[in-house]
Amino acid sequence: MVLKTPRVALVTGGMGGLGEAICIKLAALGYKVVTTHSPGNTKAADWLDAMNKQGYGFRAYPCDVADFDSAAACAQKVAAEVGPIDVLVNNAGITRDMTFKKMDKVNWDAVMKTNLDSCFNMTKQVCDGMTDRGWGRVINISSVNGQKGAFGQTNYSAAKAGMHGFTKALALEVARKGVTVNTISPGYIGTKMVMAIPKDVLDSKIIPQIPMGRLGKPEEVAGLVAYLASDEAAFLTGANIAINGGQHMQ
């Protein structure tokens, strides 16, 4: 449903892959879409220009979501230049895959800070405003591997599982204030990162795990984000919605 009154949606890590699909979907529904990019990303301006030539009207701001002060500065600038943030999609994330035996503190911390601490860093900037206005949506993008674990991903799986613990606790705190907090846990989605996996590995190791026999589409996840951001989803909070083609069921 296209919005009658524009709302501001901030999507972290929205340049490319799943984040880009989320930005495009929300823009098509009438949201004022803002995304973040890593400070020093030399491709950010080109991406923004290409997107806006297609009529999306995105805004983009540098932000290190792993750093609280950077998150605060970004949110303040968005509020001043675009408007109060109504929808926050915590999508930014990284991987540093290796077995636990080989994992060092640097690679543990990098994933925990970017994937989990970022939820606190970004949500802290917008939550009080949402509750004060009596409406808001926080949508955390987790992973099927946060539900079932994955070999070589103790850091990533722990961070993604932690995101949903954060979701449930915060959902309880803000439920009476018109704010919902939910988690989406995608499985293998056909982003550039996944499509870079060698085809023989996809065909022999990954797709056979998926009962639907295919990768998900970024647009399918974006559609779920759009629903959770809508007025129709006002009674849905504290949930972890799996979108994985049947790969993992709870």
CATH numeric code, 8-243: 3.40.50.720
2-16, 111-125, 156-170: which range is least confident on average?
2-16
Vertex 75, ends 69 and 77: CA angle to 5°?
A: 105
Choice among 31, 61, 156, 188 that is catalytic: 156
Model confidence pLDDT, tens digit, residues 213-245: 999 999 999 999 999 999 999 999 999 999 999
Q: For 176-195, what is the mean pLDDT? A: 94
What whole-number distance in Å separates Cα of residue 153 and Cα of residue 75? Answer: 30
Res 3: pLDDT: 76
Res 49: pLDDT: 94
Res 5: pLDDT: 76
Residue 165 — pLDDT band, cuts 50, 70, 90? very high
DSSP 159-222: HHHHHHHHHHHHHHHHGGGTEEEEEEEE-SB--HHHHTS-HHHIIIIIGGG-TTSS-B-HHHHH
Selection from 237, 199, 229 nearest residue 1 by Cα: 229
Cα distances from 147 to residues 136, 144, 159, 243, in angstroms, run 26, 5, 11, 12
Whether the pLDDT of residue 193 is over 90: the answer is no
Residue 1 — pLDDT band, cuts 50, 70, 90? low
Is 156 labeled as catalytic in the residue annotation? yes
Q: For 54-63, what is the mean pLDDT? A: 95
